[in-house]
Structure 1
């Protein structure tokens, strides 16, 4: 999958390119799947929101939430996202928390979303891939996702990219445009 091209298409479809913002796209994971068990539909037809949500454990926490059912195309609402005895469909996971943004990245997102408002929008899409982390990386399965940020100013996009890059597994998969 050409992640950059997919996000450029999404940006065009949603009209975000007309807002005068800079785009920042990178590949990382959605953590916490083992706790929530809400598997999203893969691809840009199921755009998930990233939002700041502090807790007693992490004041800079960010959750990844599935779109509300009314925001999901009716044609995909019945698609199975998880098979077996715990079968779920797109409609079942709509509006629910899918997981959370990795710790070192959510610090940057939370500050941009809730403190200095340099990030106008933070979304992500599931690639369909899982990454299994060992004990050193927090354990449990992680969903590989493409994150897309609409950043208010170009110079902020560069600063945010510089803050996020050290925490990415594949540092070459971060783009500003």
Structure 2
């Protein structure tokens, strides 16, 4: 058994995908994951399991069937998450951690799509790929940016979910303590 982090896309955003974290923890516990901890109300779960891929698929099914929310569930091992959290490539340029994000991709994008990725509309956003992660810097903030999760999914041909840098660091710390 090893520690993993599950990232559910779009939870408790916009009112259509509301899930109580107690209900989400219960789904993981029913699958034999112990201990289970959530962070914030946005679908971040730290858990222990033998088969995280199987857990992710079953969580996705049960959340849709039981809680009425269709969502992507991605997992990373605690070790993978620690590597992601080891350093953001744009941290030296930015002291406001709210402007740093990581996009977790369900697969490594095709190299041609990676090479062709451009920031839309002349935005000042910066990005760097690292396997199944995309590090982002939003110098003007993420709220008004057109370099969105939906844009990235369309351009890269993979599913994605983003977390701000503070959340990434906190999840890595939580996973290290389990």
The TM tier, using the shorter chain, reads 0.3 to 0.5
Q: TM-score, normalised by structure 2?
A: 0.34
Higher strand share: 1
Structure possessing the higher relative contact order (Cα contacts under 8 Å, 6 or more residues apart): 1
TM (norm. structure 1) is: 0.34
